[in-house]
Amino acid sequence: MTRFIDLRSDTITQPTPEMRRAMAEATVGDDVFDEDPTIGELERETAKILSMPAAVYMPSGTMTNQVALRCHTEPGDEVVMCENAHIYFYECGGPAALSGVMCRLLRTRRGIFTADDLRAGLMPSDLHFPRTKLVCVENTHNRGGGSIWPVEQIAEVSEAARQAGLRMHMDGARLWNASAATGIPESKYAGYFDSVSVCFSKGLGAPVGSALAGGEEFIARARRIRKMFGGGMRQAGIIAAGALHALRNHRERLTDDHANARRLAEALAAMEGIELDVADVETNIVVFRVTSMPAADLVAKLEAAGVLLLDMGPEHIRAVTRLMVDAAGIDAAIAAFRKAL
């Protein structure tokens, strides 16, 4: 059987032996009744890291984002985000289906907009128009190639949002990566937002789960919406224990993934048939343009050579470095690229 070097996503990672042990030994209870001590510990620790009053554990980042939208808005409202936001692009039309809101999409480079972009995109206050309620920021930005929002720019966007009477939500699925890359604490980023979603099953390598953090009343409402959306869990401390282990042990090692992404990017940028600006590779995501053949053809060639990737349209490919792909795996992937091209 071919042993694949899987760079499709950081969600592919399997639990480590230590994580499996923590899960097997977890103390559990019924979380809907707020009786699972492991989930409670995970929620408290997450809230503490983000310097937010409370947090609630959910099965996925899509759920945490969509619960946040439902909590912040009413049907007919408008939510502002970039045109390639995960909330808009990858969550199955959730804003419309689950909250009845419209998305105002801002054009950006690599998913990052300015305060002026926000102001220009706001609808006037008029009876005929939807009411704008919420601004969403994705940090790091998936389709932006793992781009990091400068904290100063977040502050400017937040100020513009507050002046317009808007709330702020951060899709921080890979916030851990932004913090690891910059040295800026997660709480510094989170301080500009009313709610923050973070994921345990991407770079941190846990098998299941995300958390939504915010104020006490907001999280109490979020728990009710979670139940309404089918996210109420019972003895889920078994999976929460994996997330708790990842939170405590895998944040610092994210810089290894970033180094491997840069190693891959520098090699790809030197290959004929690929266009890539290495300066755009800030974390663990490498997005590049293929000029010598359709992207899907290169993906197929690499799969035959034991390297798995995802094409993002006819010309672009995404590679995501992660726990369980070391420097030797990256070197093997680079060799496969050279042969395939």
pLDDT for 100-122, tens place per residue? 999 999 999 999 999 999 999 99
Q: If we measure between CA atoms, which residue out of 161, 103, 167 comes closest to residue 133?
A: 167
Q: How far apart are CA 206 and CA 222, in angstroms?
A: 22
17-249 CATH? 3.40.640.10
**Tokens at 3, concatenated:** 């042993």
Q: Is the peptide bond before 140 cis (omega within 30 degrees of 0)?
A: yes
Q: What is the mean pLDDT of residues 73-81?
A: 97
Q: How far apart are CA 82 and CA 103, in angstroms?
A: 9
Q: Are 28 and 38 in contact (CB under 8 A)?
A: yes
Does 331 have pLDDT greater than 50?
yes
Does 1 have pLDDT greater than 70?
no
Q: Are 296 and 314 in contact (CB under 8 A)?
A: yes
User: What are the extents of the domains in the chain?
Assistant: 17-249, 253-340
Q: If we measure between CA atoms, which residue out of 59, 86, 56, 39 comes closest to residue 218?
A: 56
pLDDT for 255-296, tens place per residue? 999 999 999 999 999 999 999 999 999 999 999 999 999 999
Strand runs labelled E in the chain: 5-6, 54-58, 78-82, 102-106, 132-138, 167-172, 195-199, 210-214, 274-275, 285-290, 307-308, 310-311, 316-320
Architecture in CATH of 253-340: Alpha-Beta Complex (3.90)
What mean pLDDT is reported for the chain? 96
Helix axes 327-340, 295-304, angle to 10 degrees: 120
Residue 2: the pLDDT is 53
pLDDT for 193-209, tens place per residue? 999 999 999 999 999 99
Neighbours of 44 (CB within 10 A): 12
Does 221 have pLDDT greater than 70?
yes
**Tokens at 89, concatenated:** 């692009």
Percent residues over pLDDT 90 in the chain: 97
Q: Side chain identity at 327, as an amino acid letter?
A: A
Q: How far apart are CA 153 and CA 112, in angstroms?
A: 9
Q: What is the mean pLDDT of residues 69-87?
A: 97
Q: If we measure between CA atoms, which residue out of 236, 240, 234 comes closest to residue 200?
A: 240
- φ, ψ for residue 173, nearest 5 deg: -50, -40
Residue 37: the pLDDT is 98
Neighbours of 328 (CB within 10 A): 9
Q: Which residues contact 138 (CB under 8 A, 6 or more apart)?
A: 81, 82, 85, 86, 87, 111, 144, 170, 171, 173
